[in-house]
Amino acid sequence: MSERWARLALQTYRWAGMAAYPFMGIYVGMRATRGKEQHDRRGERYGKPSATRPLGPLVWVHAVSVGETGAVSGLIGRLRAHDIPVVLTTGTVTSAALARDRFGDDVLHQYVPLDLKPAVSRFLNYWQPDLAVFAESEIWPMTILELGARRIPQVLINGRMSDRSFKRWQNRLALAESLFENLSHVAAQTEKDGERFRALGARPVTVSGNLKADVPVPSVDPGTYAQMQARLDGRPVWLAVSTHEGEEMVAARVHKMLKKRWPGLLTVIVPRHPTRAEELAAAMGGMGLSVARRTVDKMPAAASDIFLGDTIGEMGLYLRMGKIAFVGRSLTAEGGQNPLEPAMLGCAVLTGPNLANFEEIYGRFCEARAARVVDDEMMLAKAVNFLLGNAALCDAMAEAGRGVIADMSGALDRTWQTLSPYVQPLVVKARLAPGEAALDGGEDAARASQGGLIGW
């Protein structure tokens, strides 16, 4: 693709988006009916603010989902420690709930606007960020171009580029270069990621490591933890966490295979999307299994076969329930999920073979014998059975996992150093700002948030 065709493609994308914009209400409305949007906040998808912008400098941080939100939490903490206001955008209901639980009122949260010029322009016109920071692999053409046109620095942190994405961009190299040249800096997770971003035209690119290795150990309420431990009372437990469609039923069938061999066995399943819990509970009940849900039953009963962790922000509780954790989106789905939190809390990690998004991390874990790859349902059952009977091996895998995490640490400091040239002027500006007060237009923001989808 030549440079001329790349410009034409971007113009076509721009105009197609503007043409589609009036009809996006149907799309957003359908997502809302499936629980993927908040009905009362749909206007944010069109760039309509539902909060008041403070005076002074502002950093826009975007993290698409739960994992990315956790990864940027340390960075957001440092920005707030320097009194720099942050507007955090995410793309999912679960990540919005995590942001609320983790940051409270200290950080302004909005749903990310649709990557359509009217929505992005409205968002930028109101929030007027001094710096935009995107996490991992968030490449939205219209957003990047609008930020570039306004000369707002935009930095990609914790950047990663999967095999599939890299091949797609390589086939559209001129288009990639037209977009990536707008990035002020890319802080990549690995050397491999860094090389790929450079090949696609990003400059400068540095390697900072994985921010997820520097997140705090997931917390737990001591009283709830003590109550849970009393309920477990020495029962054999294993976990299937961050599971995607199909993997929950695999875990349920594994439980059925093992329950006779391990009397009192409890399988803890934490779906990536908790909204599916009711459907899953019904399906597992149809298999003859007794299912307890965190949102309904609070704790597993003595007769419970399955405990569904269908809440947000309680991974610290779930991962402390057992010493064996299968990490999902790797067996019936693709890409994998991050094993760092299970490893932090002393779990021996099992995973399926589809790990395209986390090859480097799992490579380290497998090399250190902190994780094992299972190819299918039967292999998972055998691995869980083996580890349930080998506490010493579980402990050795957990210790190896902690060692891998220790070796990976330091990404937050390196990322902060990368952002320093953009942040330091904002620190000075924040000290000069006359406090947190509404900019002109704050009342307009309130009216816009109440107006729902009226007046797109």
Active site members: 68
C-alpha distance from residue 271 to each of 240, 254, 393 (Å):
8, 16, 27
**DSSP-assigned states of every residue in 130-183:** SEEEEETT---HHHHHHHHHTT--EEEEEE---HHHHHHHHTTHHHHHHHHTT-
Backbone φ, ψ for residue 326 (5° rounding): -85, 130
Radius of gyration over every alpha carbon of the chain, rounded to an integer in angstroms: 23
Q: Are 231 and 238 in contact (CB under 8 A)?
A: no
Q: Are 268 and 277 in contact (CB under 8 A)?
A: no
Q: Are 103 and 88 in contact (CB under 8 A)?
A: yes
- In degrees, rounded to 5, the angle at the alpha carbon of residue 85 between the alpha carbons of residues 83 and 87 is 155
Q: Within the chain, what is the greatest distance between any pair of CA atoms?
A: 68
Q: Are 344 and 404 in contact (CB under 8 A)?
A: no
What 105-108 contacts at long range (C-beta under 8 Å, 24+ apart), as own/partner pairs, is 106/80, 107/76, 107/80, 108/51, 108/53
Helices and strands, number each (H, E), in the chain: 21, 14
**Amino acid at site 342:** P
How many Cβ atoms sit within 10 Å of the Cβ of residue 20? 12
How many Cβ atoms sit within 10 Å of the Cβ of residue 172? 16
**Amino acid at site 200:** L
